[in-house]
Structure 1
Amino acid sequence: MQENPHPYLKSRPLLPQKWPSNPPSNVVVVGGGIVGASLAWHLAHETNVTVVAEHPGGVATPNSFAWVNAAYDNPKFYYDFRVRSMKHWAEIAAEVPGLPLHWGGSVTWSMPPDKLEQYEKEHEAWGYDLVRVNRTEISEIEPGFEAEYVPEWGLFAGGEGTLEASVAAQQLLDHAVEYMGANVIVNTVEGFVKSDAAEEDGSTKVTGILTKDGTEILGDHVVLAGGLGSVPLLATEGITLPVNGRQGMLINTKPVAEKFLNTVINSDQLHVRQTIDEGRIRAGADYSGGDPGDNPQGDADELFDKVKAVLVGGDDLEYDYYTIGTRPDPEDGIPILGDSGLDGLTVAVMHSGVSNAAIVGELLTKRIMTGVSDPALVDFQLDRFNKGE
């Protein structure tokens, strides 16, 4: 659907027109989730792109709650980065018809009042679109949420949104293929192809990837955006990627035509939203999705009971399925973007990929194609984990 412009939307800055002497004429992107799809889409504006992915649309991406926001326990530089990504998602939506992106905002009361107030003061000082709302105002924003579960007050963030991430990833890939000549290959990447001749400093350059069936796919540059799959791939080159997997459960109702929710609700009991494309109610036990435990179906049933209880008319909802996604979490919670330690290979691994994918695609494309690195990327380099050793 075509959505209203994002409130932060400004004109998109163009990439510099002065290209380096040898910008890559062929780039290989490993990974077809929302991050890999955004990278492929941005790169395809500038060069020839081949995407290699075992699952176009992603592995973690389809199991994401997919809340587009800039909030929650982030240092200022990361908050700024996420705000830029929110702006850029709106710009992308203007170019890709029907991108399932909706700026409905969110209402939050997931923290103790003192923590919520601290969060409010900090983010207001940073200029975030955040307003304190009382019980009556929350019920006016979300009349479909049962009044007995509404707190005395919460925070409304009007500039936040949701994205049907796996659908959007596929749309970005399709758009890159249809209008910019990109190529998508469904295969499993098992290693890298490197130049035979050593560079002046004794290193070798990555010149492509090797698939499970032994096929070599060559390129002038490779971007590794394979989520948790990036960890063993870099390990084949002796490079440690400090990223762990964190599981989270989400439940989904069957599609409904009725409008239950206008925003993302991030409450002290659960986080819940209604999907844009099918009208499903999607919920997790907390913002991160909740640990599925040893009895996932039992946990899913319990979570569905909570959803039915907090929504007006919730008893009419029908349970459909649960998902257990494994998020790629860098050890310090900050995305890893940029140099991998191998010439010719860029890495992009993070949670939350849905919020960050837009700006990651734009800034890494600029870096790869022009050699110009946006100052914001300095805080996201892999080598930060080696400093101080």
Structure 2
Amino acid sequence: MTDRYEAVVVGGGIAGSSVAYHLAREGVETLLADRRDEGRATDAGAGILSPATTSRDNEPWVEFAVEAVGYYDELVAALEREQDGPHGYAERGVLSVAVNDDEVEAFERTMELIDGRRERFGIPEPGSLRELDADEARARFPPLADVERALYYEDAARVDGRTFESALRRAGESHGLTEREASVSELVLTGGDGDDDDGAGSRGVDGVVLDSGERIDAENVVLAGGAWSESFGSQLGVEIPVEPQRGQIVHLDVDADTDGWPIVSPFRGHYMVSWDDGRVAAGATREAGSGFVPRTTVEGLREVFDEVLRVAPGLADASLRASRVGLRPLTPDGLPVLGAVPDVAGAYLCTGHGPTGLQLGPYSGKVVADIVRGETPESFGADLGRFAVDRF
């Protein structure tokens, strides 16, 4: 017999796992099919959660990110009740720094953006944000260079993508979620030639076919394949302009007690995220046109290490614990692709989060799961049409 589910989620990174968890939690019989591609973005991201201090000047993204990060508290509390393993989320302050005079202008521009967010979104809250001098900044992050300006925001957080994804899956399993390590080769579509019941020729999904040839029937299919999502566009008759952006990141062993060290965010697109086990993750490159090549390069690692030494010369004696590579699913406008596929009943997308999948993905999964269930997403401030695939 062919297996049948109410929903199949294709792709098990943090976004797909969130969709599957939220569907299962609401009683939807769900299969999560994941082939665990090498280089998927969830496995390599640093997981900085701080939209209040972002230097992005993109109103739809910021509005969505504020809601997405705000949802973490509710979701983490649910995961602590529904599964007994670690979730990888922790509150941790963020230290934004201008290391030299060239970055001071960007620092001041970001301060203006932060002031605007306080007026529109009520963040940062009074007292949670303050400017530090160089000595105060180094007291919080001892390896830091002498900096020109430093801003500390205490209400930020960080998340380990691999650990959080696993927690979502375990919690989903407690609600009946089924998982398969498998590759979906094609979608099963019906209609389109006037052969549906009403003769109108409407199209819809009827399941998926695995690369083994096995067919899985389903009323709904959610495509959450990250950088690989575009491969289903031709079948669905829609362009899914998601391309891989390679990001290289290193994990350093530090001979120091890193417990409580803040996230460090300079103004060249890099970062350093400290963990409580003597580890600092540093990165990341943003390599457009990299293709599906999940490997480190001499040039990429040099870029990361040069920035580490520029911003935190006190890490010069750190040793390399590991290097990771993620292929981020990037869209032309930097916004995710969420919601129903036009003219294909039962087909949905949850992809295109770029370098901010760990920040946005869990909430995106909830939003898309609500849409699959025919519900209007709760407290969704941004217009969902901004994230629809037909905007392209």
Distance 1:271 1:300 in 2: 14
Deviation at 1:77, TM superposition (A): 2.8
**Is 1:52 the counterpart of 2:33 in the alignment?**
yes
Q: What whole-Å deviation, never above 9, does each CA across 1:201-230 have from its counterpart, x for those lacking one?
A: 422111211111111112221111111111
Q: What whole-Å deviation, never above 9, does each CA across 1:97-149 have from its counterpart, x for those lacking one?
A: 3311111121113572222212212222212324333323312332x223xx1
Alignment-mate amino acid for residue 343 of structure 1: A
Tell me: CA distance 1:298–1:360, structure 2 relative to 1, closer, same or farther (3 Å). closer
Which residue does the alignment assign to 1:12?
A: none
Contact 1:308 1:317 in 2 (8 A): no
Aligned ranges 1:270-285 → 2 under 5 Å? 270-275=270-275, 278-284=277-283
What is the SS of the residue equivalent to 2:203?
coil
Contact 1:264 1:271 in 2 (8 A): yes
Which residue does the alignment assign to 1:114?
A: 105
Judge which range, 191-200 or 244-253, deviates more: 191-200
Which residue does the alignment assign to 1:37?
A: 17
Tell me: CA distance 1:78–1:308, structure 2 relative to 1, closer, same or farther (3 Å). closer
Judge which range, 258-267 or 207-216, deviates more: 258-267
Judge which range, 98-107 or 196-205, deviates more: 196-205
Alignment-mate amino acid for residue 116 of structure 2: A
Contact 1:261 1:273 in 2 (8 A): no
Deviation at 1:291, TM superposition (A): 10
Tell me: CA distance 1:121–1:162, structure 2 relative to 1, closer, same or farther (3 Å). same
Which residue does the alignment assign to 1:243?
A: 242
What is the SS of the residue equivalent to 1:64?
coil
Deviation at 1:244, TM superposition (A): 1.7
Which residue does the alignment assign to 1:379?
A: 386
Contact 2:271 2:282 in 1 (8 A): yes
Distance 1:89 1:202 in 2: 42
Tell me: CA distance 1:189–1:291, structure 2 relative to 1, closer, same or farther (3 Å). closer
**Is 1:355 the counterpart of 2:346 in the alignment?**
no
Aligned ranges 1:222-233 → 2 under 5 Å? 222-233=221-232
State the TM-score, normalized to the length of structure 2.
0.81
Distance 1:163 1:265 in 2: 15
Judge which range, 76-85 or 199-208, deviates more: 199-208
Contact 1:336 1:381 in 2 (8 A): yes
Tell me: CA distance 1:50–1:57, structure 2 relative to 1, closer, same or farther (3 Å). farther
Alignment-mate amino acid for residue 104 of structure 1: R
Judge which range, 317-326 or 343-352, deviates more: 317-326
Contact 1:131 1:156 in 2 (8 A): yes
Aligned ranges 1:332-347 → 2 under 5 Å? 332-341=333-342, 342-347=344-349
**Is 1:198 the counterpart of 2:202 in the alignment?**
no
Distance 1:227 1:161 in 2: 23
Distance 1:35 1:220 in 2: 20
Distance 2:231 2:289 in 1: 24
Contact 1:251 1:322 in 2 (8 A): yes
Tell me: CA distance 1:56–1:259, structure 2 relative to 1, closer, same or farther (3 Å). same
What is the SS of the residue equivalent to 1:132?
strand
> How many equivalent residue pairs?
356
Alignment-mate amino acid for residue 173 of structure 1: R
Which residue does the alignment assign to 1:104?
A: 92
Tell me: CA distance 1:338–1:299, structure 2 relative to 1, closer, same or farther (3 Å). closer
Distance 2:33 2:254 in 1: 32
Contact 1:33 1:56 in 2 (8 A): no
Distance 1:58 1:170 in 2: 17
Which residue does the alignment assign to 1:89?
A: 72
Runs of 5+ consecutive residues of structure 2 not aligned to the other structure:
81-85
Alignment-mate amino acid for residue 31 of structure 1: G
Contact 1:64 1:325 in 2 (8 A): yes
Distance 2:76 2:367 in 1: 17
Contact 2:206 2:217 in 1 (8 A): yes
Which residue does the alignment assign to 2:43?
A: 62
Contact 1:253 1:318 in 2 (8 A): yes
Contact 2:5 2:217 in 1 (8 A): no
Judge which range, 86-95 or 53-62, deviates more: 53-62
Tell me: CA distance 1:74–1:26, structure 2 relative to 1, closer, same or farther (3 Å). farther
Aligned ranges 1:284-295 → 2 under 5 Å? 284=283, 288=286
Q: What whole-Å deviation, never above 9, does each CA across 1:42-86 have from its counterpart, x for those lacking one?
A: 111111111001018982211112212322324223212111111
Which residue does the alignment assign to 1:167?
A: 163
State the TM-score, normalized to the length of structure 1.
0.82
What is the SS of the residue equivalent to 1:150?
coil
Distance 2:43 2:223 in 1: 19
Tell me: CA distance 1:66–1:93, structure 2 relative to 1, closer, same or farther (3 Å). same
Tell me: CA distance 1:35–1:285, structure 2 relative to 1, closer, same or farther (3 Å). closer
Contact 1:260 1:311 in 2 (8 A): no
Which residue does the alignment assign to 1:331?
A: 332
What is the SS of the residue equivalent to 1:367?
helix
Deviation at 1:154, TM superposition (A): 2.2
Tell me: CA distance 1:259–1:199, structure 2 relative to 1, closer, same or farther (3 Å). farther
What is the SS of the residue equivalent to 2:248?
strand
Q: What whole-Å deviation, never above 9, does each CA across 1:286-309 have from its counterpart, x for those lacking one?
A: 6x5899999824652674476467
Contact 1:249 1:290 in 2 (8 A): no
Contact 1:133 1:154 in 2 (8 A): yes
Distance 1:156 1:290 in 2: 31
Distance 1:55 1:295 in 2: 19
Contact 1:244 1:328 in 2 (8 A): yes
Q: 2:58 aligns with which of 52, 60, 75?
A: 75
Distance 1:249 1:58 in 2: 10
Distance 1:80 1:131 in 2: 23
